[in-house]
Amino acid sequence: INDKPSYARWMVESLDWGTLSTLSTMNHVSGSPFGNPVSFASNHGVPYMCVSPLDQSIQDLFADARVSLSMSEAQFGNYSSCLIPSGDPENPPCARLSISGVFENVTDPNEWQIAKQVLTAKHPSFENFCFSSDDSFHHFFLAKI
């Protein structure tokens, strides 16, 4: 891969889930790293998520908003450098990407509409729970890194 920044942007635009990592606030492992799969969609390289405040990772982020989102070329499932037995997800030619930053609630109405559009385009089922008017759906909200 010669142009790593372009390849990283392509991965963020093409993949639809990654591992969201936080610093745990759970009593028995407080301060330890905690990873959780999260679905996302991106707009110009900004990953957006629809999340529930009941999710442990989100509870962690209320205490400390620092976060990373990791993904792998192996998630595409058809790259020979990543496939076993000829390759492996840890094989250096199998691209990996980690984005670190601050977790932010999307509150700007225009950005919220963009986030909703890219999320429902990539994850049609989100329309049924992320954007439901039914209060029993855990008060999902949109966030970004």
Q: Does residue 125 register a pLDDT over 60?
A: yes
Encoded amino acid at 48, one letter: Y
Looking at residue 58, its pLDDT comes to: 92
Report the chain's C-alpha Rg in angstroms: 16
Q: Which residue has the higher pLDDT, 49 or 136?
A: 49
DSSP three-state, residue 68: strand
Looking at residue 101, its pLDDT comes to: 95
Looking at residue 83, its pLDDT comes to: 74
Q: What are the pLDDT digits (tens) for 76-113? A: 877 667 876 667 778 788 889 999 999 999 989 899 89
Contacting residues for 2 by C-beta, under 8 A, at least 6 apart: none
Looking at residue 134, its pLDDT comes to: 57
What does the DSSP 8-state code read for residue 55?
S
Looking at residue 86, its pLDDT comes to: 67
Task: Categorize the per-residue pLDDT at 114 as very low, low, confident or very high, splitting at 50, 70 and 90.
Answer: very high
Mean pLDDT of the chain: 88
47-69 mean pLDDT: 93
Q: What are the pLDDT digits (tens) for 18-46? A: 999 999 999 999 999 999 999 999 999 99
Buried b (16+ CB within 10 A) or exposed e, 105-135: ebeeeebeebbbebbbebbeebeeebeeeee
Give CA separation, 50 vs 64, 87, 106, in Å.
Answer: 18, 33, 10
Q: At 24, list the tokens.
A: 């745990």
Q: What are the pLDDT digits (tens) for 64-76? A: 999 999 999 888 8
Starting at the edge strand found earlier in the chain, the sheet holding 17-23 runs 33-39, 17-23, 66-72, 96-102
